[in-house]
Amino acid sequence: MKMQFKEISGSVVAPRGFRASGVFCDIKKLGTGKGSNKGLKRDLALIVSETPATVAGMFTTNQVCAAPVKVCVERVKRGTAQVVVVNSGNANACTGRPGLADAREMVSFTERALNLPPGSALVGSTGRIGVTMPMDNIRAGIIEAATLLGASAEHAGHAVEAIMTSDTRPKQLAVEFKLGGKTVRLGGICKGAGMIQPGMSPTGARPATLPALHATMLGFITTDVAVDARVLQAALNGAVAQSFNRITVDGDMSTNDTVLVLANGLAGNKRFGIRNSEFGIFQAALNHVCLELAKKIVRDGEGVHRVVTVRVSGARTVPDADAAARAVANSALVKTSWHGGDPNWGRIIDAIGYSPATVVEEKVDIGYSATGSKKILWSLQRGQPTKAMFKQLCAAVAPKEFELHINLNLGKANAVMYAADLTEEYVDFNKGDVKDASSLGG
Amino acid sequence: MKMQFKEISGSVVAPRGFRASGVFCDIKKLGTGKGSNKGLKRDLALIVSETPATVAGMFTTNQVCAAPVKVCVERVKRGTAQVVVVNSGNANACTGRPGLADAREMVSFTERALNLPPGSALVGSTGRIGVTMPMDNIRAGIIEAATLLGASAEHAGHAVEAIMTSDTRPKQLAVEFKLGGKTVRLGGICKGAGMIQPGMSPTGARPATLPALHATMLGFITTDVAVDARVLQAALNGAVAQSFNRITVDGDMSTNDTVLVLANGLAGNKRFGIRNSEFGIFQAALNHVCLELAKKIVRDGEGVHRVVTVRVSGARTVPDADAAARAVANSALVKTSWHGGDPNWGRIIDAIGYSPATVVEEKVDIGYSATGSKKILWSLQRGQPTKAMFKQLCAAVAPKEFELHINLNLGKANAVMYAADLTEEYVDFNKGDVKDASSLGG
């Protein structure tokens, strides 16, 4: 279902009844003071609904998962929540039992600060791995953030800033659409940059069909739609499968990947089931917001110069299509050729050939199009180079964004990956600064 | 079995009855003339036994495999051969039926040039993918190479040079040892550099147990040991499984990976079966030569500054150990941290956590040692940071080569990978020169 959605400002506070804030509480312990914003990047955010909301979540399937993920997986099962507390600068991952106690304190402290009943808060963290949370700073941050909540685009902007790590740009979006005769709104913020190839599931357990994947990405979505938790989770599963779980920057799946949706029902629409037409409309809107946010993560990935949509078609099975798309999207040689503006089909067919997908060399087509265009310039057809001029092919891969089309011509299954090039800047950024332990990323 | 082998010079011509040559025949069509060496890097080699030899081979499991691989797979099954013709500059991959005809002509032309019966020749190619072989140059090269065969270390050196692509150094080795009362010799040459994570099998078919892997690496081994083809293949399977199939530079498996062994029996030892003690000695020698050659490939990989031996122990199963080792060895974030001299255990535990291996965070140990040393400096034990000083850990990962130890503490299975860092030079080299199509690597 292809629909148009009206974009509005305010991201997570665009839906009725939501407020947000973001403060600096020195989570990285830069030593510039606690609990106050001194012009440094904010590092703690609150997103609050004025009424209890239904909730759904998707979590990293990494077996080494962070304490906040463990806490959220438990709490999302209950189906309701009212506030999300998120920090950057520390992932609270590989921090053992003390880390889990810290994550639990973050939610309970937030609930008390906002006078909400136990079980109302969810938590997300991103930043260094293996470092104990600076709980004094966190508590001071939560208290300050609770006093600064508001529903303006500026408030949402503070929250977006607070969740950024190596992101160079804030990533946010909100849309307004009609649902069951009511005007409803859906907004979201996210962060990404490195360690980006999410593979999330509703419980953090890895389904057999989910490939072994690899980012810290955090996404927080709010809506005033009235929707039951189970229906909301079904919509989120579908939306994440086609968006956040289809992006890769560097092929590394984080310990902290989390997407949460809070739906407070203040739009007053009639609740719907997954067989109602309203579900299709809601799913399409959620898909749109998740996909646009996911693409923003790839575009702003560490050192990324080019974004390539890898479209595999004609695979025997969906896992085959997915495996071929991921092999290409994560091949160091393919990614460096994209960086170089080199239409190197040899590396592409090499990558699909070593993927677990069934591939017959003599059947493979490889081509390029402008983003969204149906006009494909084929460089390889049925395993043989076409007569396309090398200059034409170079022109096709020169734009900042383009689409790569791979048809295996063996079946009807498709898959898409939103991928990035591999640049010297990525290497330089991630080789880290070994003067201290601050380079432990998560 | 740990044995010492006496290293001798001459690599592939060290064993009795072998001769080699290497010439320049302008396979890349640089336009500097054909069939003569004008001081440019040689690009065509012959390795010849004076008597028919038994033969064994291992070939890429990439489903997109080059024409010379297809020809060798067929011919190695017969169990005998007498000459190998190898070229660099053109991989003869993705060249369709004309490419297969060219590969067949390379072997038949070589047989005629050397007055050998049909079926005596094997072929290997490495270089550009998707470009038709310049057969006039190839024929002229074979004729010249046939006149220049010799058994000196210089001749072997010419052959090594001829198979190099982005290699910066020749890679060769020969050993002498006692077998059944006779002095026998085993020598080899190889090339690597990029597109290096071989996953080879005897027939090029992918066994279920072999992970989806990813180099063009070529290895040619000669010996004067008398050994039946089936016994030789068994020894090669074992040796490659622990050497060439355990290296990775960039995680990309080539269309052309090939290892061939020719055994001409001129040492006059009594033939042995796989249950005889001689087999153990021969296997150990072949293991040694293959492993030393494989390590040379990693050390000379494109842009490689550091070589890391990743040792996973305590896995539940061997596939688990292998999967964890490969996830770490191929993680962009782990590899960039090695480049930076950063002992970042967070990225390591993240990678094993997203690997298909069963991992329990609270059980994982991560540590470092000097190459070959049993003294391990643990950075993480049972999922928790140790008291090792950050400076000590930095010192442990500062050398050009070191060992990374990961104990999953869940079982008894082990695996090792010989891995490389990821540097700006790798990216710069592989982003290619888009002024022409010469960057198609294979």
pLDDT in tens, A32-51: 554 444 568 999 999 999 99
Q: Is residue A1 part of a domain?
A: no
List the catalytic residue out of B126, B216, B222, B258.
B216
Q: Is residue A437 part of a domain?
A: no
Top residue of A350, A365, A410 to mutate, by most chain B CBs within 10 Å, is A350
Query: To the nearest whole percent, how much of chain A has pLDDT over 70?
Result: 90
Q: Report the pLDDT value the prediction gives residue A321, as an integer from 0 to 100.
A: 96
Nearest CA in chain B to A213: B354
Question: Where is the domain boundary, A299, A332, A351?
Answer: A299
A161 vs A156: CA distance, rounded Å: 9
Q: Flag if A342 and B390 touch (Cβ within 8 Å).
A: no
Question: Where is the domain boundary, B278, B299, B320?
Answer: B299
Q: Report the pLDDT value the prediction gives residue B86, as an integer from 0 to 100.
A: 97
Same domain, B240 and B371: no
Same domain, A131 and A16: yes
Question: Which residues from chain A sit within 8 angstroms of residue B434, using beta carbons?
Answer: 340-343, 394
A423-434, pLDDT tens digit by residue?
998 898 888 755
B325-384, pLDDT tens digit by residue?
999 999 999 999 999 999 989 899 999 998 989 999 999 999 999 998 989 999 999 998
Q: Is residue A122 part of a domain?
A: yes
Confidence of residue B199 (pLDDT cuts 50, 70, 90): low
Nearest CA in chain B to A328: B252
Same domain, B286 and B339: no
Confidence of residue A368 (pLDDT cuts 50, 70, 90): very high
Q: Report the pLDDT value the prediction gives residue B376, as an integer from 0 to 100.
A: 96
Same domain, A229 and A314: no
A149-158, pLDDT tens digit by residue?
999 999 999 9
- pLDDT at residue B33 tops 70: no
Q: Flag if B441 and A333 touch (Cβ within 8 Å).
A: yes
Number of domains in chain B: 2
Question: Which residues from chain A sit within 8 angstroms of residue B255, using beta carbons?
Answer: 349-350, 353
Q: In the predicted model, what is the mean pLDDT of residues B151-176?
A: 94
Q: Say whether residue A389 is in contact with chain B using an 8 A CB cutoff.
A: no
Pairing of β B307-315 and β B401-407: parallel
Residue B37: how many other CB atoms lie within 10 Å: 17
Most confident of A407-416, B371-380, B389-398: A407-416
Q: What is the DSSP letter of B150?
A: B
Residue B358 identity (one-letter amino acid): T
B86-98, pLDDT tens digit by residue?
999 999 998 889 9
Q: Is residue B113 part of a domain?
A: yes
- pLDDT at residue B109 tops 60: yes
Q: Say whether residue A387 is in contact with chain B using an 8 A CB cutoff.
A: no
Which segment of A34-48, B86-100, B119-133, B419-433 scores lowest on mean pLDDT?
A34-48
- pLDDT at residue B213 tops 50: no
Q: In the predicted model, what is the mean pLDDT of residues A221-232?
A: 97
Question: Which residues from chain A sit within 8 angstroms of residue B440, using beta carbons?
Answer: 344-347
Residue A223 identity (one-letter amino acid): T
- pLDDT at residue B21 tops 70: yes
Q: Is residue B442 part of a domain?
A: no
Q: Report the pLDDT value the prediction gives residue A439, as an integer from 0 to 100.
A: 37
Top residue of A65, A92, A94 to mutate, by most chain B CBs within 10 Å, is A94
Where residue A14 sits, what CATH number does that domain have? 3.60.70.12
List the catalytic residue out of A54, A60, A61, A216.
A216
Under 8 Å CB-to-CB from A247, ≥6 apart: which residues? A192, A196, A197, A198, A215, A217, A294, A295, A297, A298, A417, A418, A419
Residue B46 has which token pair?
A: 């012959």
Backbone angles phi, psi at B408, to 5 degrees: -80, -15
Same domain, A243 and A206: yes
Interface of B with A in 269-308 (CB under 8 A): none
Residue A336 identity (one-letter amino acid): T
HEC string of chain A?
CCCCCEEECCHHHCCCCEEEEEECCCCCCCCCCCCCCCCCCCCEEEEEEEEEEEEEEEEECCCCCCHHHHHHHHHHCCCEEEEEEEEEEECCCCCHHHHHHHHHHHHHHHHHHCCCCCCCEEEEEEEECCCCCCHHHHHHHHHHHHHCCECCHHHHHHHHHHHCCCCCCCEEEEEEEEECCEEEEEEEEEECCCCCCCCEECCCCCCCCCCCCCCCCEEEEEECCCCCHHHHHHHHHHHHHCCHHHECCCCCCCCCCEEEEEECCCCCCCCCCCCCHHHHHHHHHHHHHHHHHHHHHHHCCCCCCCEEEEEEEEECCHHHHHHHHHHHHHCHHHHHHHHCCCCCHHHHHHHHHHCCCCCCHHHCEEEEECCCCCCCEEEEECCEECCCCHHHHHHHCCCCEEEEEEECCCCCEEEEEEEECCCHHHHHHHCCCCCCHHHCEC
Q: Say whether residue B388 is in contact with chain A using an 8 A CB cutoff.
A: no
Nearest CA in chain A to B91: A346
Which segment of A261-265, A434-438, B128-132, B300-304 scores lowest on mean pLDDT?
A434-438
Domain ranges, residue B369: 307-422
Over its C-alpha atoms, chain B yields an Rg (Å, rounded) of: 22
Nearest CA in chain A to B344: A440
Distances (CA, A) of A89 to A107, A137, A264, B191: 18, 12, 29, 44
Q: In the predicted model, what is the mean pLDDT of residues A261-271?
A: 97
Q: In the predicted model, what is the mean pLDDT of residues A178-197?
A: 89
- pLDDT at residue A316 tops 50: yes
Q: Is residue A432 part of a domain?
A: no
In this complex, which of B212, B422, B436 lies closest to A355 when CB atoms are compared?
B212
Longest dimension (CA), chain B: 69
Same domain, A317 and A280: no
Same domain, B294 and B338: no
Confidence of residue B431 (pLDDT cuts 50, 70, 90): confident
A422 vs B303: CA distance, rounded Å: 14
Q: Say whether residue A208 is in contact with chain B using an 8 A CB cutoff.
A: no
- Reported residue count of chain A is 442
Same domain, B356 and B281: no
A126 pairs with which residues across the strands? A88, A90
Q: Flag if A341 and B94 touch (Cβ within 8 Å).
A: no
A273-313, pLDDT tens digit by residue?
999 999 999 999 999 999 999 999 999 988 899 999 999 99
Q: Is residue B72 part of a domain?
A: yes
Same domain, A243 and A285: yes
Same domain, A347 and A205: no
Q: Flag if A441 and B331 touch (Cβ within 8 Å).
A: no
Q: Say whether residue A27 is in contact with chain B using an 8 A CB cutoff.
A: no
Helix (H) or strand (E) holding B53: strand B44-60
Where residue A344 sits, what CATH number does that domain have? 3.10.20.340
Q: Flag if B350 and A253 touch (Cβ within 8 Å).
A: yes
Angle at B62 between CA B60 and CA B68, to 5 degrees: 55
Question: Which residues from chain B sit within 8 angstroms of residue A301, using beta carbons?
Answer: none
Q: Flag if A63 and B360 touch (Cβ within 8 Å).
A: yes
Q: Report the pLDDT value the prediction gives residue A159, as an integer from 0 to 100.
A: 97
Say what the pTM is: 0.87
Q: Report the pLDDT value the prediction gives residue B197, as an integer from 0 to 100.
A: 66
In the predicted model, what is the mean pLDDT of chain A? 90
Among this protein's residues, is B126 annotated catalytic? Answer: no
Same domain, B291 and B406: no
Q: In the predicted model, what is the mean pLDDT of residues B206-225?
A: 68
Distances (CA, A) of B45 to A59, B10, B19, B167, B171: 55, 15, 11, 16, 14
In this complex, which of A383, A437, A442 lies closest to B350 when CB atoms are compared?
A442
Q: Is residue A441 part of a domain?
A: no
Q: Report the pLDDT value the prediction gives residue B31, as an integer from 0 to 100.
A: 65
A88 vs B229: CA distance, rounded Å: 61
Q: Say whether residue B100 is in contact with chain A using an 8 A CB cutoff.
A: no
Question: Which residues from chain B sit within 8 angstroms of residue A59, using beta carbons?
Answer: none
Query: To the nearest whole percent, how much of chain A has pLDDT over 90?
Result: 73
- pLDDT at residue B442 tops 60: no
Same domain, B252 and B336: no
| Closest to A55 measured CA to CA, from A78, A85, A21 | A78
Residue A74 identity (one-letter amino acid): E
